Structure 1
Amino acid sequence: MPPNPDLRQTIDVAPGLDLAATLGPLRLGVSDPCWRVEASGPWWWATRTPAGPLTVHLVPGAGVVGVEAWGEGVEWLPRHLGRLLGLDADGPPAARTELVRALAQRVPGFRVAGHGRVADAAIDGICRRGVSAFEAARSWLLMVEAMGDDAPGPGGLRLPPAPRRVASCDPYELHVMGLEQGRADEVRRVASHASRLEAGTHDGGAEAIAHLAGIAGIGTDAVEHARAVALGDPDAVPVLDAHRTAAVVRALWTGAGADDTVDVRSLLEPHRPERGLLVRLIALVEAADAADDDGGLTP
């Protein structure tokens, strides 16, 4: 028998909230062992919080999301549920440009969300830098399996890497997981500062992001990724692999000739303050188009 949840509640949401579109950008690939999606629609998520480990089960309904949670981290969860479900965005994307407006209409149930875990998001971004989505997901999977723990509750998930284990590990351990010395050093630095990277509700996480940006040797792209994935900042641009970069160029590039040397950030610049939102929408719409081309099968 599954253990009874330590927390159970129902959250009112806008009708049609799309959990897959909203939560999908927060995980590192479909193999991310901290997340699981049921075919019927519910999502599972496991994380570490200042209060302790946490497993969350989110069940979509008509204008509501049922929430069940296990672990000591349940006292952390209620203050962060709004961000996790994209409710802090207070409705659909603002759509300040015509392109954002058109793409948002294709995925009306999408909300800009963030999971609130700044250190994990920064490590996620470092894993993604300069490699394919497959390689990034493999590095994260191996790190979670080696340095994480079983999550509480019945979800069968793993908790993210324990910061103390990552910070004190031999760099070679990360090398065999696919992280060369530069990225391995960055991951260890982030982990050593994990206790200072808690996103407080009083400032929206600004202090945690400022501390992350002040850590020597941490790339600005990892900081941006943390703002996007942990805080749900609609203007923060996450780290893009070659596939996502190509998708953005296809959507935005209107020049003549080859587009393989186009500066993606320059293409996104006219869309401030919704650059990160635009990136997510492009990915969602491209995935939807690919599914339609495959006869409705999810790629």
Structure 2
Amino acid sequence: MAGRFTPPSRTAVRGGWTGVPAGQGQAQGQAQAQAQGQAQVHGQGQVHGQGRGQPGGGRQRVWDPPGPTDIGLTLGPLRRGPGDPTFRVTPDGSVWRAVRTPQGPGTLRVSLHAGRVTAEAWGPGADWLLDGLPALLGADDDPDAFVPRHRLVHASHRRCPGLRLTRTGLVLESLIPTILEQKVTTDEAYRAWRRLVSQYGEPAPGPGPGDGYRLSVMPDARTWRRIPSWDWHRAGVDAKRSGTILRAARVAPRLEEAAAMDLPEAAARLELVPGIGPWTSAETLQRSNGAADAVTTGDLHLPGVVGYALAGNRDADDAEMLTLLTPYAGQRHRATRLILLSGRTPPRRTPKMRKTDIARW
């Protein structure tokens, strides 16, 4: 389904849209994976082949999603800016991710052709990544539970039949870049993430996405704790955000347990860490837990976007936003994503948020 819907606005990109070319290289990878597969388990949403790739290659899996799936819309929220060193989209229509799994670093390549997903993974975390492929692509999501109640939401829902809510099962992977995004512009947060991962991460296993580009796996919790204050400063991260990341890294195993919790318990676990509030926990659990009802509150722009889209009120606050989203109880995160993907935003009437590059202070 990639390529059917191409929202033009920055707001739509914030809604989790990432353009994935309708490449031609997936069919060959699919045929190879099927030929090398050791099991032929047929049925909706099941694996059709899993086994070793070519000599020196990774493990492969072919999976039939239970419904229309757009990997750009589904995996888009995991991308932290166009230069994210852990995420890459290639011209052949593949999405590459470098991930620190509980079993170690791993690289995952995912592509979609004729409704079938082909995946290949490398490194110590390869098996973990392939086992989690269905959840990553929204197999745990229930899009049929969503009923549009507004004309704009209905139109956006109709244009995005392949939208699925990803579930990574990894908390720290989403928590740290979310903390970096607190109270700064997205460009500043993306630059900090890119610099810190490139400097303190490790090269991702496997061949890489090509063109001489190599992905990087984010640092482990111990490495995050050992980043000196001057490198946080050079990355443009103030003491408040870096302190929050350090506190989270110290209790990383306990935070990772939240990936298996229900939304209220998971949010409460994350918010025990000073510096992590409802905004940060919601933005994290939307990705790590696939939480369909984790609506983001405390955001500078989202209440106005939702208020303008659903009621023509660009000055809506969190309370009004939650009231407008009441008909979508249980699916409020999906509703806000569809609103953002519609691209309907109030006209700007104030200057953009000022960038504050503390690295130059």
Q: TM-score, normalised by structure 1?
A: 0.83
Distance in 1, matches of 2:247 and 2:286, equals 20
Match status 1:75 vs 2:132? no
User: 1:281 is matched with which residue?
Assistant: 338
User: 1:45 is matched with which residue?
Assistant: 97
Equivalent position to 1:109, from 162, 166, 183: 162
User: 1:96 is matched with which residue?
Assistant: 147
User: 1:233 is matched with which residue?
Assistant: 291
Is the 8 Å Cα contact of residues 249 and 264 (structure 1) preserved in structure 2?
Answer: no
What letter matches 1:23 in structure 2?
L
Q: State the Cα deviation string for residues 231-265 of structure 1 (Å, max 9, x = none).
A: 1101113588756665434323424xxx3x43145
Equivalent position to 2:249, from 180, 191, 206: 191
Distance in 2, matches of 1:153 and 1:55, equals 7
Relative to structure 1, is the Cα distance of residues 241 and 203 closer, same or farther in structure 2, using a 3 angstrom cutoff? closer
User: 1:147 is matched with which residue?
Assistant: 200
Equivalent position to 2:179, from 126, 140, 143: 126
Q: Please identify, of 108-117 and 217-226, the stretch whose mean Cα deviation from structure 2 is larger.
A: 217-226
Q: State the Cα deviation string for residues 112-151 of structure 1 (Å, max 9, x = none).
A: 1122220121112111121222111111111111211110
How many equivalent pairs are there? 281
Is the 8 Å Cα contact of residues 21 and 284 (structure 1) preserved in structure 2?
Answer: no
Aligned-residue Cα RMSD (Å) equals: 2.7
What letter matches 2:79 in structure 1?
R
User: 1:60 is matched with which residue?
Assistant: 112
What letter matches 2:89 in structure 1?
V
Is the 8 Å Cα contact of residues 244 and 273 (structure 2) preserved in structure 1?
Answer: no
Could you tell me which runs of 5 or more consecutive residues in structure 1 were left unpaired when the two chains were aligned: 288-299
Relative to structure 1, is the Cα distance of residues 249 and 205 closer, same or farther in structure 2, using a 3 angstrom cutoff? closer
Relative to structure 1, is the Cα distance of residues 16 and 35 closer, same or farther in structure 2, using a 3 angstrom cutoff? same
Q: TM-score, normalised by structure 2?
A: 0.70
Distance in 2, matches of 1:204 and 1:117, equals 14
Is the 8 Å Cα contact of residues 307 and 320 (structure 2) preserved in structure 1?
Answer: no
How is 1:195-274 mapped onto 2 (pairs within 5 angstroms)?
A: 195-199=253-257, 203=261, 210-238=268-296, 247-255=305-313, 259=314, 261-264=315-318, 266-269=320-323, 270=326, 271-274=328-331
Q: State the Cα deviation string for residues 77-135 of structure 1 (Å, max 9, x = none).
A: 24422221011114x35223413444211211111112222012111211112122211
Distance apart, 1:208 and its partner CA: 6.1
User: 2:33 is matched with which residue?
Assistant: none
SS at match of 1:76: helix
Match status 1:20 vs 2:72? yes
Relative to structure 1, is the Cα distance of residues 77 and 136 closer, same or farther in structure 2, using a 3 angstrom cutoff? same
Kindly name which structure, 1 or 2, has the bigger radius of gyration based on alpha carbons. Answer: 2
Is the 8 Å Cα contact of residues 93 and 111 (structure 1) preserved in structure 2?
Answer: no
How is 1:158-177 mapped onto 2 (pairs within 5 angstroms)?
A: 158-177=216-235
Equivalent position to 1:30, from 82, 102, 113: 82
Q: State the Cα deviation string for residues 269-296 of structure 1 (Å, max 9, x = none).
A: 4232222112222232329xxxxxxxxx
Is the 8 Å Cα contact of residues 47 and 53 (structure 1) preserved in structure 2?
Answer: yes
Relative to structure 1, is the Cα distance of residues 214 and 5 closer, same or farther in structure 2, using a 3 angstrom cutoff? farther
What letter matches 2:317 in structure 1?
D
Q: State the Cα deviation string for residues 174-196 of structure 1 (Å, max 9, x = none).
A: 12212211111111111222233
Is the 8 Å Cα contact of residues 304 and 317 (structure 2) preserved in structure 1?
Answer: no
SS at match of 1:9: strand
SS at match of 1:43: strand
What letter matches 2:165 in structure 1?
V
Distance apart, 1:7 and its partner CA: 1.4
